[in-house]
Amino acid sequence: MLGLSPRSVGLLVAAFLFTTAAYAHPAPPRVISLAPHATELAYAAGLGEQLVAASAYSDYPDEAKTLERVSNYRGIKLERIVALKPDLILAWRGGNPPKPLETLAQLGIEIRYLDVEKLDDISGFIRELGRYGRHPEIAQKNAAAFDQKLRALRTRYQDATSVPYFYLLSGAPLMTASDHAWPSQLFRLCGGANIFADSPAAYPQVNMEQVITRKPHTVFYTGGELPASWQSMKDLLPSLAQHYAFQLNPDWLTRATPRALQAATQICEALDTVRSAT
């Protein structure tokens, strides 16, 4: 969104109130999502038919690709959102600027923040969003299925042998994720031990010497292939890490949606492979 003057904001408010005064909000509400994970959660809750717009990179399920884009890394298209007359906006504090959302709230539009912090939050948000839809039973079914899969993984791996791992987030600069970052709980679920768990930063920049001295048994990465800078230094790692590097689906790993358990399954199977080799 580009910056708006107080006069422009005032005109938006007036226009919105004028156009909505003549009729009541339709039921169920019109919904706009301002984050890819929020879009996925909305579909999982059965709100697909009610979504009128979404953020950039809202690409799952396939139906989401046809939605109009009203936000991206630059900001939010405030005027367009107002013109679409939403009743409910799904937002994310970690990725959406606060001021335009405050303006939208002043217009009487409900803002629901989907700030997922732990895996159990996913099914909770699905159930909550289901109350806004025509078919709340869809939300209940999908939430229950998620909970069942999560319980099964927890039961299976609660006593698994710990495996030290390094998550290669970026090769230049060399970056990883600490236990403060979202992906780490998926590794912990499977018995992974993050060699940079204690870093105060969620996504710290590290160096190869630090990786080598912490002796990971395996490496995980996203993207097409390991960066060339990593390939040139991997021979200095413990032998297990040299032979066991696993590629993960980035959307499954980084989005707080039901597909996170697909990433967890990938991770669990990879760690089982490493365990069998020790």
Which of 177, 119, 110, 128 is CA-nearest to residue 152? Answer: 119
pLDDT at 15 over 80: no
Confidence band (pLDDT; 50, 70, 90) for 233? confident
List residues bridging with 69 in a β-sheet. 54
pLDDT in tens, 178-193: 999 999 999 999 999 9
pLDDT in tens, 75-127: 999 999 999 999 999 999 999 999 999 999 999 999 999 999 999 999 999 99
CA distance 277 to 2: 55
Which of 92, 125, 133, 89 is CA-nearest to residue 108? Answer: 89
Confidence band (pLDDT; 50, 70, 90) for 17? very low
Question: What are the structure tokens assigned to 26, written together?
Answer: 């339709």
> How is the chain split into domains, by residue range?
6-145, 160-276
* 3-state SS assignment for residue 186: helix
Question: Pairing between strand 170-171 and 174-175?
Answer: antiparallel
**Same topology between domain 6-145 and domain 160-276:** yes
Question: What are the structure tokens assigned to 276, written together?
Answer: 């069998």
Looking at the domain that runs over 6-145, which CATH code has it been given?
3.40.50.1980
pLDDT at 134 over 70: yes
Q: CATH homologous superfamily of domain 160-276? A: Nitrogenase molybdenum iron protein domain (3.40.50.1980)
pLDDT in tens, 152-180: 999 999 999 999 999 999 888 999 999 99
- The least confident of 20-24, 69-73, 104-108 is 20-24
